[in-house]
Structure 1
Amino acid sequence: MPSHRPSFILGVSLTTMVFFAHFVALRGAPVKPDFPPDLGSTVLNHSMSLVQRMEGLLAAGNGSDVTLRVLAVDTDEVKVIQAHSLVLTMQSPVFEELLLVRNGSAVVLREASDCAAVFDKFIRYLYCGDVSVRLDQAIALHKLASKYRVRSLQEGLSQYMSQHLSSDSPAGHAVSWYNYALLTGDAALRDSCLQYLSWNLSSVLRSQEWLSVGEDLLLSLLRRSDLVLQTELELYEAVEAWAESNGPAGETARAALRSLRYGMIPPRHLFRLQRQSALLQTHYESVRDLLYLAFQFHSASPVTLAKYFEVNCSIFTPRNYLSPSWGSPWIIGNPTRDDRSFSFQTQLGPSGHDASKRVTWNSLFSPRWMPAGARSNYGEMGAMQPTRTDGGRPRVIVTPATSSPDFAGVSFQKTLLVMARQQGKIVVRHVYNFHQSTEEAGDFLEGADLQRRVSEYLIDSSLYLHVVIKPLYHTLLVAKK
């Protein structure tokens, strides 16, 4: 039955000069240097014609001097491919070694069934420099590219997988591709998967993919402060669902529970979890100290707590929470037009002592803001008066509308999430951390062409942002009497 899944053409052009330079060099003939350019010179590019001829050469098997017999492991299936040793050895050092020690014209290759199924695609890439890839074929082709050390195809597939982490699939792709990258040592793909899961965790928690997360990946995620999710309570409930589905060993369950940030969960929910959470009741003794510290955190003022406890630790550090208590979405239509301002409110801090206190924030977006080093002066409002210039880059400034004695012992880290549409889904594309202005980040929207209506940074011609405010408490140094 034919597949209707979307495919993708992965290509690395194989030009006429490159191929025949290799061809001639292998036969010992000198390669003539290029003629110096002159006013009448031009380039005649017939590389597509060469690719078509190479494809025809593979299909017909004309001049073939090696037969590849591809055996699918644990099956009787055999795939026979008439190939040319020159092409194979030029593209793959592994094939070069195999062909040096072969007996006769046939080479027997044993491959896993998924790899055997796409082996003809893999060989075609060696001849033509491009390959049509479906999502369900990516890992098999990557395995072949890794095994036969075809670096260009390996890197291209890693990039393709990194760009399609949000593609629709009942079980998702990010977790399975992360596990594969970990197994093969592909650090770039591993990091891309981990970043995608971290920055889009709230949507992952609501999918079937969450229950397929392995123990090591779970603990790696729980240790991160850049997780993007609604609240810490949402994360606790997801960990509980994961534990019910996977039945982890006690040591893993306790490590997961100790990685949650109970200080970020309001007391009313902590009380409910102690009574209703089977996972917490089973391992209560392992987190008793953390719960006790969280209740102390919520009952005392942060200034008082900071005199006696180290508050610069993970239990008191917010993640990137999407809840209205911690920030606000901000959609900027036609972002290159002019400066935009926006106001919103957040809770002063995660402590129960600050639960009823609000901070009003003023945000300014400037599409053309001159870097600080190029400015001559500031206005009365300081950074809220940017110097605009046609050559500047976009910037966002976030400052409190007023000052307050309640700010003592608290600093505010701002996090700006930039959304994008990928494979039909809105996902977090970038995360920027700063204290007052994105100019501190240095690379805010670097390379983004917001003038283009089809810019990958825009959704329906608008820039989709989400501003997150993260209050951080500071330990106070108290002199001994």
Structure 2
Amino acid sequence: MVRLYEQGIPAWSYMSTLFIFILFHSVTIRGAALKQEAPLDSGATLLNHSMALVQRMETLLSTGNGSDITLRVQTIYMDEVKVIQAHSQILTLQSDVFEDLLIRRNDSVVVLRETSDCAAVFDKFVRYLYCGDVSVRLDQAISLHKLASKYHVLGLQHGLTQYMTQHLSSDSPNSHVVSWYNYALKIGDTVLRDSCLQYLSWNLSSVMQSGEWSAVSEDLLLSLLQRSDLILQSELELYEALEAWINHNQPDASTVESALRALRYGMIPPQHLFRLQKQSLLMLKYYESIRDLLYLAFQFHSASPIQLAKYFDVNCSIFTPRNYLSSSWGSSWVINNPTRDDRSFSFQTQLGPSGYDSAKRVTWNALFSPRWLPLNARSTYTELSAMQPTRTEGGRPRIIVTPATSSPDFAGVSFQKTVIVMAKQQGKVVVRHVYNFHQSTEEAGDFLFDADLQRRSSEYLIDSSLYLHIIIKPLYQALLIARK
């Protein structure tokens, strides 16, 4: 009989003890301390030796002592075989799929057929079943997630989904965000899919300048081009990135035409449209496919909003701006020590994106309050230089954005205000949150609702400062025709 650890304990007895211990404890993907579910008696002290148990489980797996089954992991379409000595009680505890396999087995050898990527990390997967934690690299996440899904190990499956959503901004030469999106789409993981799509949309400028961009699939590209929440420098930047993507991927003509027709040419200044018509090989080749859109864009740039609304549907996408970071559309705002006191800030934007309004500017006033009080309790807002005293009681962060003056030029135009909050993740500055509010409201009511700005290590702060970018998006209004 096999004996363990020199104390002469029979293997079956030691295995049973471990089995019972694991049964009443939970595990996590990162090997956090095992949690005792029953509350402690009054006056009792918890002696936690769970990490020692994890180490013993790891030793048990590596030595194979007391094992009663052999896992032969065969790589599909290859001759590679990985052999793992395991214990049926542990495998069946963690996976109902293993339970079914082991019930139906004829001998102590179980043959498992896996793809090469899954076979390469199968030992990590089994280690998780024994120890409750696993070290993960970006290029291993999908393979481990496949195994967790196949063998119904839900804790690992959910832990890996969380890992991927938290590491979208990590640097990788393998275009991991796009591959994670495609994988999530394939398996129907809506949480991971939406997280990847949001990351790509909110950080599109940096994505278009990385190796991630060329790996974007045709379907994903067309999906991104339809969105109004893209955050990028300008529509011209998007056109140039699309041209580079087409040159690299060489899609069929129908895909190119669909992509080109999804661009918002009205948001590109006329001088740049003229240049593209003469110098862009892509536009020269597909000019007839987008002639009507270019004609509409030039009409947009030559008329006032009211005149335009008389003849066109101004609510269509060609007249709707995305979130542009260039100075014509807004300004960045870095607030040092944001919990200290109220801050004010002024900036200018264009009245509208059309060439007709290109020379007209609007001045905007922004007020940030770390601990908001009702407006009637504030000093006069127009006194921008007056700072509020520090308040330590209650309240939560608020931001207010209003035009400094009113103007007849505002006729036919409403303004959507977008406040972007930046953060640093894995050493990279990315978009943390986006808040939208309209002309009918001065402020974003849910602004930083859950943020803890008191902590210097807050995920909303970069080097103890709050990094914001305010965007003003002019939206053209349809005319209301009075009934006779």
Residue of structure 1 equivalent to 2:28: none
Residue of structure 2 equivalent to 1:342: 345
d(CA) in 2 for partners of 1:382, 1:16: 70
Asked whether the equivalents of residues 235 and 268 of structure 2 are also in contact (C-alpha less than 8 Å), the reply is yes
Which residue identity lines up with residue 372 of structure 2 in the other structure? Answer: W
d(CA) in 2 for partners of 1:290, 1:115: 48
CA drift of 1:367 comes to: 0.5
Residue of structure 1 equivalent to 2:222: 219
- Residues 1:277 and 2:280 aligned together: yes
d(CA) in 1 for partners of 2:141, 2:313: 47
| Residue-pair matches, total | 455
CA drift of 1:72 comes to: 1.6
The one of 108, 111, 125 aligned to 2:114: 111
CA drift of 1:439 comes to: 8.5
- 3-state SS, counterpart of residue 419 of structure 1: strand
Residue of structure 2 equivalent to 1:25: none
d(CA) in 2 for partners of 1:376, 1:299: 43
Residue of structure 2 equivalent to 1:157: 160
Which residue identity lines up with residue 208 of structure 2 in the other structure? Answer: L
Asked whether the equivalents of residues 125 and 147 of structure 2 are also in contact (C-alpha less than 8 Å), the reply is yes
Q: Alignment identity in percent? A: 74
- 3-state SS, counterpart of residue 362 of structure 2: strand
d(CA) in 2 for partners of 1:339, 1:197: 33
The one of 138, 141, 146 aligned to 1:138: 141
- 3-state SS, counterpart of residue 349 of structure 1: coil
d(CA) in 2 for partners of 1:438, 1:454: 32
- 3-state SS, counterpart of residue 248 of structure 2: helix
CA offsets 1:78-98 (integer angstroms, 9 cap, x no match): 111111111111111211111
Residue of structure 2 equivalent to 1:476: 479
Which residue identity lines up with residue 355 of structure 1 in the other structure? Answer: S
d(CA) in 2 for partners of 1:36, 1:315: 61
CA gap of 1:382–1:389, structure 2 versus 1, over 3 A, is farther
d(CA) in 2 for partners of 1:208, 1:20: 46
Gaps of 5+ in 1: 1-14, 23-32
Residue of structure 2 equivalent to 1:304: 307
Using structure 2 for the length normalisation, give the TM-score. Answer: 0.88
CA drift of 1:286 comes to: 2.1
d(CA) in 2 for partners of 1:267, 1:433: 28
Which residue identity lines up with residue 480 of structure 2 in the other structure? Answer: L
CA drift of 1:389 comes to: 6.2
Asked whether the equivalents of residues 117 and 143 of structure 2 are also in contact (C-alpha less than 8 Å), the reply is yes
Asked whether the equivalents of residues 402 and 442 of structure 2 are also in contact (C-alpha less than 8 Å), the reply is no
Asked whether the equivalents of residues 204 and 232 of structure 2 are also in contact (C-alpha less than 8 Å), the reply is yes
Asked whether the equivalents of residues 88 and 96 of structure 1 are also in contact (C-alpha less than 8 Å), the reply is yes
Matches within 5 A, 1:375-454: 381=381, 390-435=393-438, 441-454=444-457
Asked whether the equivalents of residues 432 and 438 of structure 1 are also in contact (C-alpha less than 8 Å), the reply is no
Residue of structure 1 equivalent to 2:356: 353
Which residue identity lines up with residue 321 of structure 1 in the other structure? Answer: Y
Which residue identity lines up with residue 125 of structure 2 in the other structure? Answer: F
d(CA) in 1 for partners of 2:163, 2:39: 38
CA drift of 1:338 comes to: 0.6
- 3-state SS, counterpart of residue 393 of structure 1: coil
Which residue identity lines up with residue 256 of structure 1 in the other structure? Answer: A
d(CA) in 1 for partners of 2:99, 2:314: 60
Residue of structure 1 equivalent to 2:331: 328
Which residue identity lines up with residue 404 of structure 2 in the other structure? Answer: A
d(CA) in 1 for partners of 2:142, 2:461: 30
Residue of structure 1 equivalent to 2:195: 192
- 3-state SS, counterpart of residue 400 of structure 2: strand
Gaps of 5+ in 2: 1-17, 26-35
Greater Cα offset, 103-112 or 272-281: 272-281
- Residues 1:363 and 2:366 aligned together: yes
CA gap of 1:479–1:285, structure 2 versus 1, over 3 A, is farther
Residue of structure 1 equivalent to 2:240: 237
- Residues 1:463 and 2:466 aligned together: yes
- 3-state SS, counterpart of residue 323 of structure 1: coil
Matches within 5 A, 1:238-257: 238-257=241-260
CA drift of 1:460 comes to: 1.0
d(CA) in 2 for partners of 1:292, 1:480: 31
Residue of structure 1 equivalent to 2:267: 264
Which residue identity lines up with residue 124 of structure 1 in the other structure? Answer: R
Asked whether the equivalents of residues 118 and 140 of structure 1 are also in contact (C-alpha less than 8 Å), the reply is yes
Asked whether the equivalents of residues 72 and 110 of structure 2 are also in contact (C-alpha less than 8 Å), the reply is yes
The one of 58, 64, 79 aligned to 1:76: 79
The one of 294, 300, 320 aligned to 1:317: 320
CA gap of 1:379–1:313, structure 2 versus 1, over 3 A, is farther
d(CA) in 2 for partners of 1:234, 1:203: 11
Which residue identity lines up with residue 301 of structure 1 in the other structure? Answer: S
- 3-state SS, counterpart of residue 369 of structure 1: coil
CA offsets 1:328-354 (integer angstroms, 9 cap, x no match): 110011111111111110001111111
CA RMSD of aligned residues (A): 2.6
